[in-house]
Structure 1
Amino acid sequence: KRYSFGAVGFNFLIAAFGLQWALLMQGWFHSLDYSDGKIKIGVENLINADFCVAGCLIAYGAVLGKVSPVQLMVMTLFGITLFAVEEYIILNLIHARDAGGSMVIHTFGGYYGLSISWMLYRPNLNQSSRLQGSVYHSDVFAMIGTLFLRMFWPSFNSAITDHGDGQHRAAINTYLALASTVLTTVAISSLFQKHGKLDMVHIQNSTLAGGVAVGTAAEFMLMPYGSLIVGFCCGIISTLGYIYLTPFMEKYLKIQDTCGIHNLHAMPGVIGGIVGAITAAAASESVYGPEGLINTFDFEG
């Protein structure tokens, strides 16, 4: 009701500042040319920097209306730095694959934001909870944003995958998971609301949880039924999270999750990591072929 300008304008600020810092931080870890000491930048570096900033934008969702622009810049500075470190550990040291960023982007951004929200909690914070709701026009704009995310999520998950089969699989798996999540979210929301009405918070957020959860395994042979199952499970978990878990966290854990990032990003991100691990463990040369194993997992079976 009162933070619409900040929700949009401060996102712009985070993106502009974070993109520049991310190019440097990720460049030092991934793109530094030791022969001349310079960071080489290409289109893929810009995409990865966008992904890096996405983690901080997710974290901002937990502290919307609680931080000043200066605090937000400090939060982004540390967030980008920590993101670059955890990304290097997961992708370069552990050699995990995470094309859609379920672990690297969504889980990190979700729990980074929740930890800051926990630190900023004040005993009288519940007095401002009435301002946390939405008004008609903000719901409409948020729903338009949801539709845009729904359209472009397949390209988000497939942007840095192996060109060819891996990229096609990522788009298909994401598309199917999102479709399944929408149906499940609508059903669960209607079931748990009075008179069978739909809650706009669920429709704006939980309908995207499948795209988050399928991110790690997006380029794997998840198969269409696997994508549908992932989307189905995330639709249930995310919607129930908004109904039961968010009030529980605020009351007992002293964590006020303004935008519900734990239900849309953090929990589906954890599920995505588990799904990716199971799918990768089941990978074999008979399924992917010799070249497919190398291209998808960077190793030979």
Structure 2
Amino acid sequence: METLMLITNFNNRRCDLELKSCLLTAVTCAHWFCLVFCESSLSARSAEGTMRGTSTNMRLKLPITCFILEIILIILFCALVEYDKETDAKQWHNSSDHNYQNEFYYRYPSFQDVHVMIFIGFGFLMTFLQRYGFSSVGFNFLIAAFALQWATLMQGFFHGMHGGRIHVGVESMINADFCTGAVLISFGAVLGKTSPVQLLIMAMFEVTLFAVNEFVVLSVVGAKDAGGSMTIHTFGAYFGLMVTRILYRPNLDKSKHKNSSVYHSDLFAMIGTLYLWMFWPSFNSAITAHGDDQHRTALNTYYSLAACTLATYGLSSLTAHDGKLDMVHIQNAALAGGVAAGTAGEMMLTPFGSMIVGFLAGVISVLGYKYLSPILEDKLKIQDTCGVHNLHGMPGVLGAIVGAVTAALASVDTYGSGMEDVFPDVASGEIQAFSQGVRQIIALAVTLGIALVGGLIVGFILKLPIFGAPPDTICYEDSIYWEVPEEEEGHGNQLTAVRVSEETKKLNA
């Protein structure tokens, strides 16, 4: 009732009666959704007796959640969103610009690469679990499709409002995908232990907090973070780690045998790794200024990834008693160089500096997977399924620190007139380069604070029993939420053994 009164009293001069009625309708739908959702959950719990038959039954919960969220999105898009100048037919043709000057031709190739990373790279990277491939790719698809729509609105409120409307174009699509990337990083921390409804609810809150943090870091603090080491990777990792800490499962050992990979699942995950590795230079450079800035960002990321890969292979072999490579390290740690080059990528990091950053990121990530992850689980009760702390968390912090040092050392002798693109406040004389470095550190602290506090609150929300989370005994299992082939469901362990055996024989032959 209080929410309805707030919306009713909303009196923005730029919004007309149609906007107010649309917002009221959206809030009413959300209120109705909560009532129906809770009622359906309670009725389902009373109708069935077993945990697997009641709590995890998505027949009403998932459709209600998807339909109501999408209806609200459509209403809000109708009321608030319109094409920007580069997209609108009337505005573009009234301008004197040539068609090939349209932003689409400069940004869309990068958008394609980022989009592939979001839906294929992240999705397949998480298919390493032997019985969770459908969920890894499928739930990645679901929450990404929702998050990019919600991110368009949330980021638009803070960055894209013009005359009371949110203007959208190819750059807003890229930014929405960036925000979605943070959500998918958090998804990796809770992989196998959450329901699709929980993931949608988590995405809704995380996208909102991401937009707030992005606004504070980039607009209020004035930090630079083109590739998102802080705003995407650090935020997504520590938000997800806090959520999975709150959702701690003391009896998760009952599903421990499923929290592992087989030969073919690791091979699928490696497909995701290669897609991410190839397109990461586009990810970091997608929204940087045209010209040397974008060129330099791609180049720095390129060399950072290459150096990181060699460090990963070397340290993976070194830390194994028998000298064998660990596929977990190769799938994940080899990508840490892209994460660490995000903040400083557009700066004059130099090629050899990029290689040093990538090498350090690979070392930190492998050591994290080998030694730190077991400590976090045993001592701090953080059950990090994908090891996002090692791939995104620590390398993201490293990238933020590298960005702060590089910014503090910036000079006109190094940047020339290009200082205006990278550090406009330093170029104008408003602040010194050292102060820009301080801004970068403050931005890191703000990001960690919002991520941890936000993850804490959202974690407790997701603990509510109405969201259909799987019990400890059947985590990491597709058949809870998916129709799976009968032979897989009935003879999963036998098939796994046969497949591994056949593949091993072929390799030996």
Q: TM-score, normalised by structure 1?
A: 0.98
Counterpart position of 1:297: 423
Q: CA offsets per residue over residues 152-207 of structure 1, 9 Å max, x none? A: 00010000011111111101100000000000000000011132110000000000
Q: Which amino acid aligns with 1:120?
A: L
Counterpart position of 1:155: 282
Partners of 2:199 and 2:319 in 1: how far apart?
36
Partners of 1:244 and 1:129 in 2: how far apart?
19
Name which of 214, 233, 248 aligns with 1:87. Answer: 214
Q: CA offsets per residue over residues 98-120 of structure 1, 9 Å max, x none? A: 01000000000000110110011
Please tell me whether residue 18 in structure 1 is matched to residue 144 in structure 2: no
Q: CA deviation at 1:219?
A: 0.4
Partners of 1:129 and 1:259 in 2: how far apart?
14
Name which of 28, 36, 39 aligns with 2:157. Answer: 28
Partners of 1:77 and 1:148 in 2: how far apart?
27
| Residues 123-138 of structure 1: pairs in structure 2 closer than 5 A | 123-138=250-265
Partners of 2:240 and 2:317 in 1: how far apart?
29
Q: CA deviation at 1:130?
A: 2.4
Q: Which amino acid aligns with 1:100?
A: G
| Residues 167-178 of structure 1: pairs in structure 2 closer than 5 A | 167-178=294-305
Partners of 1:223 and 1:211 in 2: how far apart?
15
Q: CA offsets per residue over residues 111-153 of structure 1, 9 Å max, x none? A: 0110110011021123322211111111111111111111100
Counterpart position of 2:135: 6
Partners of 1:108 and 1:3 in 2: how far apart?
25
* Identity in percent: 64
Partners of 2:270 and 2:160 in 1: how far apart?
38
Q: Which amino acid aligns with 2:296?
A: R
Q: CA offsets per residue over residues 73-102 of structure 1, 9 Å max, x none? A: 100000100000000000000111101000
Q: CA offsets per residue over residues 197-222 of structure 1, 9 Å max, x none? A: 10000000000001100100000000
Runs (4+) of structure 1 exceeding 4 A deviation are none
Q: Which amino acid aligns with 2:368?
A: G
Partners of 1:132 and 1:113 in 2: how far apart?
18
Name which of 387, 390, 398 aligns with 1:263. Answer: 390
Please tell me whether residue 225 in structure 1 is matched to residue 352 in structure 2: yes
Over aligned residue pairs, what C-alpha RMSD do you find?
A: 0.8
Q: Which amino acid aligns with 2:289?
A: D
Partners of 1:162 and 1:214 in 2: how far apart?
17
Q: What 5-or-longer segments of structure 2 have no aligned partner?
A: 1-129, 430-509
Please tell me whether residue 181 in structure 1 is matched to residue 308 in structure 2: yes
Question: Matched residue of 1:39: which SS?
Answer: strand
Partners of 1:2 and 1:140 in 2: how far apart?
14
Partners of 1:31 and 1:294 in 2: how far apart?
22
Question: Which structure's CA Rg is the greater one?
Answer: 2
Q: CA deviation at 1:252?
A: 0.6
Q: CA offsets per residue over residues 21-40 of structure 1, 9 Å max, x none? A: 0000000000011x3x1110
Name which of 370, 377, 382 aligns with 1:243. Answer: 370
